[in-house]
Structure 1
Amino acid sequence: MYEQTCDVAVIGAGTAGIAAYRAATEAGASAVLIERGPGGTTCARVGCMPSKLLIAAAKAAHAARSADPFGIRVSGVAVDGRAVLERVRAERDRFVGSVFDGLDGLPEGARIAGTARFRDGRSLTVDDHTRIAFKAAVIATGSSPNIPKPLHGLGDRLLTTDTLFEIPDLPGSLAVLGAGAVGIEIAQAMTRLGVRVTVIDSGDTVAGLSEPDLARQAAAIFGAELDLHLGARLDSATRDGDGVRLAWTDRHGHAQVTQAERMLAATGRAPNLDGLGLDAAGLRLGEDGVPKFDRRSLVCAGAPILIAGDADGWRPVLHEASRQGG
């Protein structure tokens, strides 16, 4: 096994990890960037980049249908779902490529491919080929979509933001579980692209809004475009023919059934921490399995290890991941 020593070992080559590596080297520290893949940052691959491209297409279709008040007559607006998604993927891949281009210039040996696991609070292994001793480490392993238990049996009929942009064509109908910022923006975009959309959420607001009047206005605006149900509980989800069948209870306690071609889970993301050997590193974990850390320094309790970006579950947005990584 190859043995290596560095000042800073960064686990994860997403937004936070890249920022951490650059900050370390710019400060004169020796650093390595460990990447399990696929890399390219969550934002560029499956987050804000492809979702905003989908929204741009939806906005174009919506504008064409809404041009009459300006004296512009547009008839027969047709959405080519395959072409929309092909463009989303092409532009998305260009964004991801630019991220990889920024990593290509790293010194030889600074970028290590594989899965990292702590041996103790001062060393880790990458697969079975490299052992790294470090003075400090940064956990920047990102996050993965949450899949609520009722959705586990849907197989390929279940979509997440990690898989949504890979489908070859737009579905005829889509049920969305979760009316947070991600769920509601995708739901509105899909609606404007001609997909019949139903959104179910157990909360009382959309997009995480907390100001009561604003939350009511937003619910009314989105509800005018799509089938929005707040304060609802999903009871079960099953495969049904070529689609899915959802049994749920509305806010008034009435049983409801929704059928759709595909289901989108938009219920947040969980930190990627499994398999890291956090116990071996001596880190103290919270009830959620995330290491306890100081929110000013991001240093974890128990070892010279920091945690940044989606991995710490604190502020899982792009600019915060970059700031925390630095």
Structure 2
Amino acid sequence: MKKYDYDIVIIGAGGAGITASFTGNGFKKKVLLVEKNKIGGECTHSGCVPSKALIKAAKLTYNVTTLKDYSIDLKYKLNTENVMDYVKSIVNKVYEEEKPHSFEERGISVLKGHASFINSNTISVNGENITGKNFIIATGTSPKLPPIKGIDSDYILTNETIFNLEKLPKSMGVIGAGAIGIELAQALNRLGVSVDILLRGDRILKKEEKETSKRIEDILLGEGIEIHKNVKLKKIEDGTIHYLDNGNMGYFSSFEKILVATGRKPNLDNMNLKKIGVDYDSNKIIVNDKLQTSVSNIYAAGDIAGPYRFSHMAEYQGFIAAFNCIFPVKKKTDYSQVLWTTFTDPEISHIGYTEEEAHKKYDNIKVYTETYSHLDRAITDNEQGFVKVICHKDNIVGAHIIGNRAGELIHEIQMLKKFNIPIKKTADMIYAYPTYSDIIRKIGKKAYLDYLNNNLIVKTIKNISK
């Protein structure tokens, strides 16, 4: 007689939950996937997919406005009335591959409803008790709104509601200057929305290199976006944002809509985690390096576990959590290879330490940079940008790219970093010409020349030949 209904019960069907379900199923385990909304989670319905569709539409619109730079004359009239229909169509296209039947055809059971724990081996969904040997909590996060008056008004949008709009507003205030706020601000502005960004600090994209965030700021300003720094919000009233400046009350003129992108909070409501002994705080479920919670047969993965809230990290954790549910020898998470891309135009990609962080961590670092202005393909495409690679001895400890195709270029550096291959090894590789990837070889050449100039034998020969 079976002891449990399922080997693995996964609560939440976003990136982490989907990956975990496929992994468990791939190892011939009986898997249940529980989701109270639609499968796909935030990424499919209110994150990666709709935002990139909107960004693509905005990029095409912007490209038309720059045709004169290529000596092309085109008369046009901008009409974005149906752009949100396009965004919704892309979401639906992706969701077609994530509907319950596609999982059930693989042998993964799917149940729609809210799950709450009765004990460490039992949950209740829609009044039905379900038992499992192991559980993976992958319920994700939701927008965290600042505690100010009027934040619950009809003017307010978050990433969960903005893509439900039928038409774009004429004006929008964007509160928050992280990746979500900046990506959407630029896209909306390019589609004809008058955009103001409000941030409480003095720098947008504060996790990036200072030089990188400054370049993006200059681009946004050049495209007509207003950026207001060190803003202390007080209240929102009839689309008007009231703020405090050196003790004096001020306000920003009425916006048709206001997008709030100021952080995230964990989705833990009514799950009875405290009752069964699962530890959590206001930001996340607390896990060890094997993604186990304080209850050993219950794991957490994805945004709900942190520390990095990206879809690719959710997939990474989803695999590890499922693996550890199955095998006695547990895998550990390794965050030394974390990378991310912010899909502004131009794109920004980031691995490891910034230059400032690396200087604090190591006594001796080498920084190699190359600009797109020395790259023939970028010149023909009229693109600007740069690549920076930060090394300690021969090891890559950080890399930063701003420019066209940054999100693709970063993976070559990621591979070098992961397998401890010095960047100088790319110096004698043959790269196709003209390509953006050739900029990695150019940096490799600089590192190789640096190596030669500091080589004792080379130094000796130079001294003899003087």
Q: If the length of structure 1 is used for normalisation, what is the TM-score?
A: 0.90
Which letter maps to 1:204? D
Tell me how far apart the structure 1 counterparts of residues 296 and 275 of structure 2 sit (CA, whole Å).
10
Tell me which residue corresponds to 1:124. 123
- Between the aligned residues of both structures, percent identity stands at 30
SS in 1 for 2:34: strand
Q: Determine whether 1:90 maps to 2:89.
A: yes
How do 1:212-227 residues align onto structure 2 when only pairs under 5 Å count?
212-225=210-223, 226-227=225-226
1:113 match: 112
Asked whether the equivalents of residues 17 and 140 of structure 1 are also in contact (C-alpha less than 8 Å), the reply is: yes
Q: Give distance in 2, aligned partners of 1:45 and 1:39.
A: 9
2:274 aligns with 279
Kindly indicate whether the alpha-carbon contact (under 8 Å) linking 1:232 and 1:251 is maintained by their aligned counterparts in 2: no
CA distance in 2, matches of 1:131, 1:279: 19
Structure-1 separation of matches of 2:180 and 2:285: 26
Q: Distance in 2 between matches of 1:220 and 1:24?
A: 47
User: How do 1:249-288 residues align onto structure 2 when only pairs under 5 Å count?
Assistant: 249=244, 255-286=250-281, 288=282
Per the TM alignment, residue 259 of structure 1 is displaced from its structure 2 partner at its CA by 1.6
Q: Which aligned segments of 4 or more residues in structure 1 are displaced greater than 6 angstroms?
A: 251-254
Match of 1:324 in 2: 317
Structure 1 runs not aligned, ≥5 long: none
**TM-score relative to the length of structure 2:** 0.64
CA offset at residue 55 of structure 1?
Answer: 1.0
Aligned residues: 315
Contact 2:150/2:237, CA 8 A, preserved across alignment: no
Tell me which amino acid in the other structure corresponds to 1:312: A
| Aligned partners of 2:151 and 2:235 also within 8 Å | no
2:160 alignment partner in structure 1: 162
Q: Which amino acid aligns with 1:231?
A: N
1:56 aligns with 2:56: yes
Matched, 1:210 2:208: yes
Q: Does 1:292 align with 2:291?
A: no
Deviation at residue 250 of structure 1 after TM alignment:
5.2
Contact 1:291 1:301 (8 Å CA) reproduced = no
AA in 2 matched with 1:324: Q
**1:66 alignment counterpart:** 66
How has the CA–CA distance of structure 1 residues 273 and 87 changed in structure 2, closer, same or farther, with 3 Å as cutoff? same
CA displacement at 1:231 relative to structure 2: 2.1
Q: For the residues of structure 2 that align with 1:78 and 1:140, how far apart are their CA atoms?
A: 42
* Alpha-carbon offset, residue 280 of structure 1: 1.9
Structure 1 residues 176 and 5: CA distance shift in structure 2, 3 A: same
CA deviation profile, 1:112-139 (whole Å, cap 9, x unmatched): 22111111122211121x2122221000
Q: Is the 8 A contact 2:4 2:133 kept in 1?
A: no
Task: Evaluate the alpha carbon distance shift between residue 177 and residue 232 of structure 1 in structure 2; reply closer, same or farther with a 3 A threshold.
Answer: same
RMSD: 2.1
Higher relative contact order (CA 8 A, sep 6+): 1
Q: Structure 1 residues 179, 46: CA separation in 2 closer, same or farther (over 3 Å shift)?
A: same
CA contact (8 A) 1:61 1:193 kept: yes
Secondary structure of the residue that 1:260 maps to in structure 2?
coil
The runs of 5 or more residues in structure 2 that have no matched partner are 320-466
Cα 1:151–1:310, aligned 2, differ >3 Å: closer, same or farther?
farther
- CA deviations over 1:13-54 (Å, ceiling 9, x no partner): 111111111212222322211121122231111111111111
**Larger radius of gyration between Structure 1 and Structure 2:** 2
Q: What is residue 233 of structure 1 aligned with on the other side?
A: 232
Q: Structure 1 residue 220: deviation in Å?
A: 2.0
Distance, in Å, in 1 between the alignment partners of 2:103 and 2:295 is 31
Query: Following the alignment from structure 1 to structure 2, what is the Cα–Cα distance between the partners of residues 271 and 191?
Result: 30
Q: Which amino acid aligns with 2:133?
A: K
Letter in 2 for 1:42: E
For the 8 Å contact 1:121–1:303, the answer to whether it is kept is no
